[in-house]
């Protein structure tokens, strides 16, 4: 089976609208979380979030998108998609080949337009231009059409692990020889819909989130998008290669719709399965980009499952302390961050951690440092018990 290599990356998050800006901000330990300026919600004054401080209109004009049915989620996706394409240097012919797949993920899709959807669905006036833009697939159907792609296209939604599964689907298509390239990623934007949903679940933190800290009060939402260009090894000869998608595993916790089982059966099985799929030992992993949402339940269960897999876990961080929880985009964003870890052989500080939680007994890395990194594990666990672990390796 062919190796699956990462040859291009693109990202937009609260740390900036490019890979370079995200990398610089991670190195400096910058936090992009603040009270949102553009989100129309009464909670915008209460809950900080990882908002991208660029309006949808500005982003649209930068990308020359004039179509008035395009939503913020789609614009964020297009932004990251174009950067990844340029970075991988894909020709028009390669992009439009039937052997190049597009696998995307999102949870909110076009429902970021909460008020517009309410009006359309309840016949409260004129039809908006968004009738065909509310579902999740609208984001990736738009990209597929805009870039005149002809390969397989898919949209995945497994809540907070969505884009980790998009990466896995694309990597498997390549490994099994069904396509030669796959552009994989995810996007989600802040919305009245999600902030009200997470508030109803009482897991939003009124302070900047503190993953793994004993005084953590919950998560901050974020928005963003990231794409990775995956190519089979034979296609990537003489190209710049960032890393390899080495292992992956998807499992179900089969416990509860919004919280993880005490012993973290799903997370444990996902991490173990990713090691098996990558033919690695636990001791091979140098760094874990944890799911680390900063909810009481996740951080405690995730670390417990990490202990079951690793004994004494390797260095771990949560980049949600920089950008908040970007939901369907988080798996792809954290994949890009894992690439940074590998190509620069460095660890970025997990922010806002001060006190060890007695129930966890572990501390994430809190300072910047150089570290020999061959293999990074990235965890994504979603509502409904959807757990996915990915392993990215030096190529």
Nearer residue to other proteins within complex by CB, 42 or 370: 42
368 binds other proteins (CB under 8 A): no
How far apart CA 260 and CA 381 sit, in angstroms, is: 9
Alpha helices (runs of H) in 294-362, residue ranges in sequence order: 296-310, 320-323, 330-344
How far apart CA 222 and CA 321 sit, in angstroms, is: 10
Is 160 a residue of the active site? yes
Question: Closest approach of Cβ 287 to other proteins, in Å?
Answer: 26
Question: Closest approach of Cβ 255 to other proteins, in Å?
Answer: 8
Nearer residue to other proteins within complex by CB, 248 or 316: 248
Phi-psi region of 326 (alpha: psi -120 to 50; beta: other; left: phi over 0): alpha
H or E element at residue 116: helix 114-121
227 binds other proteins (CB under 8 A): no
Is 325 a residue of the active site? yes
Question: Closest approach of Cβ 230 to other proteins, in Å?
Answer: 15
Stretch that binds other proteins, among 57-65, 193-201, 310-318, 352-360 (CB under 8 A): 193-201
Question: Closest approach of Cβ 249 to other proteins, in Å?
Answer: 8
Site string for other proteins, 322-361 (x = CB under 8 A): ----------------------------------------
157 binds other proteins (CB under 8 A): yes
H or E element at residue 74: helix 72-88
H or E element at residue 378: strand 375-382
Candidates 136, 160, 209, 387; catalytic one: 160
Beta-bridge partner residues of 228? 9, 184
How far apart CA 386 and CA 252 sit, in angstroms, is: 5
Q: Quick one: which of 91, 122, 279, 281 contacts other proteins (CB under 8 A)? A: 122
- The residue written with tokens 């059966």 in the block is 265
**Crossing angle of the two packed helices 137-146 and 72-88, in degrees rounded to 10:** 40
Q: Quick one: which of 94, 258, 344, 366 contacts other proteins (CB under 8 A)? A: 258
Question: Closest approach of Cβ 171 to other proteins, in Å?
Answer: 11
Q: Are 392 and 339 in contact (CB under 8 A)?
A: yes
- The residue written with tokens 């660029």 in the block is 54
Interacting residues of 313 by C-beta distance below 8 A, sequence separation 6+: 288, 303, 306, 307, 362
Interacting residues of 375 by C-beta distance below 8 A, sequence separation 6+: 246, 278, 280, 284, 285, 286, 287, 391, 392, 393, 394
193 binds other proteins (CB under 8 A): yes
Q: Quick one: which of 63, 255, 284, 307 contacts other proteins (CB under 8 A)? A: 255
Site string for other proteins, 268-307 (x = CB under 8 A): -x--------------------------------------
165 binds other proteins (CB under 8 A): yes
Q: Quick one: which of 78, 156, 275, 294 contacts other proteins (CB under 8 A)? A: 156
118 binds other proteins (CB under 8 A): yes
Q: What is the largest CA-CA distance in the chain?
A: 60
Nearer residue to other proteins within complex by CB, 151 or 349: 151
Nearest C-alpha neighbor of 109 from the set 138, 82, 131: 138
Q: Quick one: which of 199, 344, 363, 366 contacts other proteins (CB under 8 A)? A: 199
Residues involved in catalysis: 160, 291, 325
The site for other proteins (CB under 8 A) is made up of: 41-43, 107, 111, 114-115, 117-118, 120-123, 127, 131-132, 134-138, 140-141, 144-145, 149-150, 152-159, 165, 169, 172-173, 176, 178, 192-193, 196-197, 199-201, 250-255, 257-258, 265-266, 269, 382-386
């Amino acid at each position: 089976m062919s190796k699956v290599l990462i040859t291009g990356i693109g990202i937009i998050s609260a740390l900036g609208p490019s890979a370079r800006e995200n990398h610089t901000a991670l190195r400096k330990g910058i936090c992009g979380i603040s009270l949102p300026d553009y989100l129309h919600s009464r909670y915008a004054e209460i809950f900080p979030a990882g908002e991208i401080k660029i309006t949808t209109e500005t982003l649209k004009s930068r990308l020359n998108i004039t179509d008035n049915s395009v939503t913020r989620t789609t614009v964020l996706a297009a932004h990251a998609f174009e950067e990844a394409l340029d970075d991988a240097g894909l020709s028009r012919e390669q992009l439009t080949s039937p052997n190049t797949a597009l696998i995307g993920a999102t949870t909110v899709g076009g429902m970021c337009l909460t008020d517009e959807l309410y009006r359309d669905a309840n016949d409260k006036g004129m039809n908006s231009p968004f009738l065909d833009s509310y579902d999740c697939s609208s984001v990736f159907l738009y990209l597929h059409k805009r870039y005149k792609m002809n390969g397989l296209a898919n949209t995945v939604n497994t809540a907070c692990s969505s884009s980790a599964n998009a990466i896995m689907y694309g990597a498997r298509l390549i490994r099994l020889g069904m396509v030669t390239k796959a552009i994989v990623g995810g996007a989600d934007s802040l919305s009245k819909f999600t902030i009200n949903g997470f508030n109803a679940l009482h897991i939003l933190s009124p302070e900047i989130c503190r993953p793994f800290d004993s005084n953590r009060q919950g998560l901050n939402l974020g928005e963003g998008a990231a794409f990775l260009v995956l190519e089979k090894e034979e296609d990537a000869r003489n190209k710049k290669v960032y890393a390899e998608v080495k292992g992956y595993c998807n499992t179900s916790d089969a416990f509860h719709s919004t919280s993880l089982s005490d012993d973290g059966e799903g997370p444990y099985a996902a991490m173990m399965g990713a090691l098996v799929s990558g033919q690695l030992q636990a001791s091979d992993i140098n760094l874990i980009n944890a799911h680390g949402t900063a909810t009481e339940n996740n951080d405690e269960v995730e670390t417990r499952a990490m202990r079951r897999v690793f004994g004494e876990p390797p260095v771990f961080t949560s980049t949600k302390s920089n950008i908040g929880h970007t939901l369907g985009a988080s798996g792809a964003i954290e994949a890009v961050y894992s690439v940074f870890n590998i190509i620069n052989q460095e660890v970025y500080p997990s922010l806002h951690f001060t006190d060890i939680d007695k129930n966890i007994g572990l501390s994430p890395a809190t300072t910047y440092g150089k570290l020999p990194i061959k293999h990074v594990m990235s965890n994504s666990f979603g509502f409904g018990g959807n757990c996915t672990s990915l392993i990215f390796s030096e190529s």
